[in-house]
Amino acid sequence: MTVPVRRFDAVIVGGGGAGMRAALQLSESGLKTAVLSKVFPTRSHTVAAQGGISASLGNVQEDRWEWHMYDTVKGSDWLGDQDAIEFMCRKAPEAVIELEHFGMPFDRLENGKIYQRPFGGHTQNNGETPVQRACAAADRTGHAMLHTLYQRNVRANTQFFVEWMALDLIRDEAGDVVGVTALEMETGEVYIFHAKAVLFATGGAGRIYAASTNAFINTGDGLGMCVRAGIPLEDMEFWQFHPTGVAGAGVLITEGVRGEGGILLNANGERFMERYAPNLKDLAPRDFVARSMEQEVLEGRGCGPNKDYVLLKLDHLGPDIIKQRLPGIREIAIKFAGVDPIKEPIPVIPTCHYMMGGIPTNYRGEVVIPQGDNPEARVNGFYAAGECACASVHGANRLGTNSLLDLVVFGKSAGDSMVEFIRNEMPTWKPLPANAAERSLARISRLDNQTNGEDVTEVRTAMQRTVQARAAVFRNSENLALGVKEIQEVAERVKRIQIKDKSKVFNTARVEALELENLIEVAVATLISADARKESRGAHAHADFQQRDDEVWMKHTLYYGDDRRLTYKPVHTKPLSVDYIPPKERTF
Amino acid sequence: MTDIDPVEIKRIRWRSRRGLLELDIVLERFLANGFDQLTTAELAAYRKCLELGDNDFLDYVNGKAEVDDPELAHIIGILRAV
């Protein structure tokens, strides 16, 4: 079967903040650049980022990039690579001012400078006092960033392929990346995108969890493609959680509700936080509350038909307080949980928010994998940026407002590296391998021909329940070992998923099946990586190994999908220009 | 809705996938329950909603913002009730 080929200098998969920032760099350099996106670019999940973008502009209070770097290293619980963290924090002011020049409507001070607001974890003088470092466009910073970058890309003649889903990475015999295959949803046809360089900016994969704040499009497509192409995934055990999302929906209930007197109950109606934290009770730190909630569920005291959530009770506060102080919460509860908190408690569960791990890259956005003695050999022609990439700046835990920064700094850096690579090393296209589209065509053909198979929604639900129960915030050896076994059983079922609708045009069922094939790779990587890490660090809190163990575990996990094995590589302890920030206990 | 091109219906279903989870949930419920009963005019209005930015769309659906476009008011009312 002949597959049509389209040829570009650079192909970018993903039209969110990172993908569009990289594309701009390439198009403005005069290179022919394509951006493939499942949805219209301004409807990428970047739109959900409200808080802001951090940069040590010092517009409101004295600030320095070195302090931002310290906060990020500490936030990462010393798993972040300090060269990449220095790079990001040093570049931050320039990156924000550049967005301002592009026309992004930041909130301003009276003197005309960009206003900066405080945000958790950002401090002056290496942890001394909080600092105002977050630049925002009202509560729509991500939205404003997407629109700004989209307009600039249109002007620079970036070619957008909207409603196209990338299927597989194409590597030649030498292992170099020479393109991707992609599905045009409108026709159902598969194409080859032949490129001198490919960038993945496919975002996160939070949909592996039953409880997730991520939009439905966040299915880890780039990560699935990497695993199938023999590229390892880094630090997949690290996921950031919020303690109280509406069970079954994922929409967040602010912690302010517990501040106002809301309490958590288990199936027996017991205020269980009194047992875990006799003094602070429901106001114990966020991660502690989240772990206690999950422990209740795991020990069989969860509520509901599947006993998989706890209850957040507010009715004792009385209708006046709820209406006055928590109006937004009442609306959310009614709309997404189907309960009015004036009368009934809200079902809640710790909810996944952000993926710290991803495709291993360096601060230049180059994908790097072990080869011989070199733990970080460049994969020629392959780049990644944004949530799908692991540079690693977030390490074991991400600071708020560092994610939008990550998108623009590493999107641009990867774009620059690609321009340099194409100009200096890749004057023309490497030939496509003979079987370039074989894997993708086989996947689609299996879906079309599968009989007596498994239902996509059922298998996806089984995957999400397993990951939620075994690898959310409460982790111990027994539970993780069970999870490894269970998720591999689910993975076997994914091999047999079936779709009823075999039509070609805008076949959403087919797209969802292909997405599940990506999600399951991420889910297996998460369980296997988490099971192996016998320490607690950042978001990976292990009940049987409660201390951070720098001697043994200050290293990055690498997961290979072909034989589901792990290797490790060192954390970068050498910043670019400043002194190493040595590990300390993470206290606040 | 029988006179509408079935391909267009499938396209609209896909475009109901958004960047914000809250919209995904509301629109998923709506696609499962209500969407198939839309009149041609309501469908045209829904298609217009899908062109909105996600934040504006959600503010309408949540009732945080008033719908000033009379063409959209009716369909947003339907979505608010989902």
pLDDT tens sequence for chain B (82 residues):
557 788 899 999 999 999 999 999 999 999 999 999 999 999 999 999 999 999 999 999 998 899 989 989 999 999 999 8
> Are B13 and A508 in contact (CB < 8 Å)?
yes
Secondary structure of A374-436 as H, E, C letters: EEEEEEEEEEECCCCEECCCCCCCCCCCHHHHHHHHHHHHHHHHHHHHHHHHCCCCCCCCCCC
Mutate to test the interface with B, among A39, A146, A202, A216 (most CBs of B within 10 A): A216
> Are B13 and A336 in contact (CB < 8 Å)?
no
How far from chain centre, in Å, is Cα A228? 19
Q: Which residues of A are catalytic?
A: 286
**Residue B28's closest chain A neighbor by CA?**
A216
Residue with tokens 């709820």: A322
Is residue A333 less than 8 Å (CB to CB) from chain B?
A: no
Mutate to test the interface with B, among A330, A508, A512, A515 (most CBs of B within 10 A): A508
What is the maximum alpha-carbon separation in chain A? 70
Given this model, what pLDDT does residue B12 score? 96
> Are B62 and A44 in contact (CB < 8 Å)?
no
Mutate to test the interface with A, among B54, B57, B58 (most CBs of A within 10 A): B54
Checking DSSP bridges between strand A366-371 and strand A310-313, what pairing results, if any? unpaired
Distance CA A10, CA A429 (A): 10
Phi, psi of A361, deg, nearest 5: -135, 170
Alpha helices in A450-557 (DSSP H): 456-471, 477-494, 508-532, 550-553
Q: What's the mean per-residue pLDDT of chain A?
A: 95
**Residue A337's closest chain B neighbor by CA?**
B25
Cα distance from B58 to chain A (closest Cα, Å)?
A: 11
Distance CA A535, CA A544 (A): 8
Given this model, what pLDDT does residue A587 score? 63
Of the partner residues B7, B13, B20, the one whose CB lies closest to the CB of residue A48: B20
Secondary structure of A261-301 as H, E, C letters: CCEEECCCCCCCHHHHCCCCHHHCCHHHHHHHHHHHHHHHH
Cα A345-A348-A353 angle, rounded to 5 deg? 150
CB-side exposure of A454: number of CA atoms within 13 Å?
20
Number of residues that make up chain B: 82
- Given a contact cutoff of 8 angstroms between Cβ atoms, the answer to whether A450 and A496 are in contact is yes
Q: Any bridge partners for residue A104, and if so which? A: none
Residues of A within 8 A of B30 (CB-CB) are: none
Interface TM-score (ipTM) > 0.90: yes
Of the partner residues B7, B22, B53, the one whose CB lies closest to the CB of residue A505: B7
Closest of A385, A416, A420 to residue A403, by C-alpha: A385
Q: Any bridge partners for residue A241, and if so which? A: A352
Instruction: Count the neighbouring beta carbons within 10 Å of the beta carbon of residue A306.
Output: 12
Given this model, what pLDDT does residue A285 score? 78
Local structure of A157: helix, strand or coil? coil
> Are A508 and B10 in contact (CB < 8 Å)?
yes
Burial class (CB in 10 A: 0-12, 13-18, 19+), A562: exposed
Given this model, what pLDDT does residue A290 score? 92
CB-side exposure of A405: number of CA atoms within 13 Å?
34
Given this model, what pLDDT does residue A259 score? 84
Instruction: Count the neighbouring beta carbons within 10 Å of the beta carbon of residue B7.
Output: 12
CB-side exposure of A554: number of CA atoms within 13 Å?
17
Q: Which of residues 39-58 of A touch B (CB under 8 A)?
A: 39-40, 42-48
Given this model, what pLDDT does residue A295 score? 92
**Residue A141's closest chain B neighbor by CA?**
B55
Given this model, what pLDDT does residue A119 score? 84
> What angle do the packed helices B70-80 and B54-62 form, to 10 degrees?
70
Residues of B within 8 A of A215 (CB-CB) are: 17-21, 24
Of the partner residues A47, A249, A507, the one whose CB lies closest to the CB of residue B19: A47
Of the partner residues B7, B14, B24, the one whose CB lies closest to the CB of residue A163: B14
pTM value surpassing 0.90: yes
> Are B62 and A335 in contact (CB < 8 Å)?
yes
Closest of A204, A208, A317 to residue A258, by C-alpha: A317
Q: Any bridge partners for residue A378, and if so which? A: A368
Give Cα separations from A35 to A12, A164, A166, A400, A512 (angstroms): 5, 9, 10, 27, 21
Distance CA A176, CA A345 (A): 55
Residues of A within 8 A of B21 (CB-CB) are: 48, 212-216, 249-251
Residue type, A67: W
Is residue A505 less than 8 Å (CB to CB) from chain B?
A: yes
**Residue A15's closest chain B neighbor by CA?**
B19
Of the partner residues B14, B25, B53, the one whose CB lies closest to the CB of residue A508: B14
Cα distance from B30 to chain A (closest Cα, Å)?
A: 13
Instruction: Count the neighbouring beta carbons within 10 Å of the beta carbon of residue A283.
Output: 15
Instruction: Count the neighbouring beta carbons within 10 Å of the beta carbon of residue A292.
Output: 23
Residues of B within 8 A of A209 (CB-CB) are: none
> Are A216 and B24 in contact (CB < 8 Å)?
yes
Distance CA A266, CA A307 (A): 10
Given this model, what pLDDT does residue A101 score? 97
Cα distance from A310 to chain B (closest Cα, Å)?
A: 21
Distance CA A398, CA A404 (A): 11
> What angle do the packed helices A17-28 and A141-155 form, to 10 degrees?
20
Residues of B within 8 A of A45 (CB-CB) are: 19
Residue ranges for chain A with pLDDT beneath 70 = 1, 586-588
- Given a contact cutoff of 8 angstroms between Cβ atoms, the answer to whether A224 and A388 are in contact is no
Instruction: Count the neighbouring beta carbons within 10 Å of the beta carbon of residue A360.
Output: 27
Local structure of B54: helix, strand or coil? helix
